[in-house]
Amino acid sequence: MIVLKAKRGKDKKIRNGYPNLFSDETREILGEEKTGIANLFSYDDDFLGTGFFNRQSRKVFRLISTQAVELNRAFFKGKINDAVNRRRFLSDSKVRRIFNAEADLLPGLIVDQYNQYLVIQIRHPVLEDYKELIVKALRESPGSEIEGIYERSDFESSPEPGLKRKSGLLWGNVPEEITIVENGIKYRVSIPSGQKTGFFMDQSQTRKSAVEMVRRYQLEDEKALDLFCFTGAFSLNLGRAGMRTLGIDKSEEDIKRARENAGLNALADRCNFEAGDVFELQDLSTEYRLILLDPPSLIKSKKEIHFGKRKFTEMVSKALEFLKPPGILGICSCAYQIGFQEIEESLRRACSRTGCYADVIKMDIQSPDHPWLVQVPETFYLKCLWAYVRD
């Protein structure tokens, strides 16, 4: 067992529920292992909890329990069952996140459900040794009628030093492609090859808001522009609500999938898609009455906030060039470091450049199956601001 001792005063945040102790906050590390299970003690030798240890990481310790625990089948079953049971109060949907890492009190584990299939993502090297127990616990979770479990730990950048990218079937059978339904709209999803685990479930509430905007401001038969459209989810919701849409994304593969989804929902005549770089758009019409901006994360750390704010301002300014007032602008950010204040500032600066005014009419956050744990600010990452733009 690895033992860590925190520097004086650094135990306070752990006692307050924050799970991460950084390498420069440790006073002593007893043990030679690079990774493993560790017990953490305060400067005064009070026991603080058990957690994951990674000597190579800046987050050297990640709390999993304030008690001394053994990572056995009962431990993982308890964690997963608790997470699944809490989500029963949210909806009956079978397309949802059923485990969300720190927000479900187990850093490094993400599990998404696509009907009868589960997709897991391992984000800490210690969990590699417990994958078999995790799979067993998922198969025994409440109301489980699972036919297959697939791993998608092949993220673009490794979140933890020492963690290798992996992807493949862990149990049962998972087809190359499945069809899911959200808000009455069908999507073809590739679990083995789609972005993240295949679909952006955290935007389900924002997609409902997009439909609300069409109805509230009577935008049926008007034009909408969906920037960074991925596989077309916002476009399809807007098209079903009556708008004529153009979705743009840099990925040719995602555009192909978006067109397939439009055909699947008999919306090909309303929802068009083109491959292109949003930051280099030119020669678009200025007839769009609703524009949605949902870019990938523009920044990864605090030191990039200035860059992120500048890119957001450029992006919003570009969008305003194509918006026909009065119109609706939706701006989303999936970067924890970019909050509503930064989005509002970018909108204000962009309006100053273009000479228009913007009323904030709604703000959305990530869907409730992606919990926001108040003790861990990083779990509140997705924000979407809706603005009514006028001359």
334 included as an active-site residue:
yes
Where does 110-174 have alpha helices with state H?
131-139
Catalytic residue (choose from 334, 351, 356, 384): 334
Instruction: Tell me the CA distances in angstroms from 360 to 60, 142, 388, one per residue in order.
Output: 41, 41, 6
Question: CA-CA distances (angstroms) from residue 158 to 12, 125, 260, 303, 377?
Answer: 29, 10, 31, 19, 21
Residues 6+ apart with CB under 8 A from 339: 333, 383
Indicate if the alpha-carbon torsion angle 97, 99, 104, 110 is positive or negative: negative
Q: Determine if residue 17 is left, alpha or beta; phi over 0 gives left, psi from -120 to 50 gives alpha, anything else beta.
A: left
DSSP letters for 334-386? --TT--HHHHHHHHHHHHHHHT-EEEEEEEEE--TTS---TT-GGG---EEEE
Of 66, 43, 38, 40, the C-alpha closest to 54 is 38
User: Count of alpha carbons within 13 Å of 32, Cβ hemisphere only?
Assistant: 0
Cα gap 59→36, rounded to integer Å = 13
Amino acid identity for residue 331 in this structure: I
CA angle (338, 332, 247) in 5-degree steps: 145
What tokens does 371 get? 């919990």
Q: Which two tokens stand for residue 203?
A: 């935007």
Counting other chains too, the contacts that 129-135 makes at CB distance below 8 Å and 24 or more residues apart are 130/71, 130/76, 131/170, 133/71, 133/72, 133/73, 133/76, 134/76, 134/80, 134/109, 135/170, 135/171
Residues catalogued as catalytic: 334
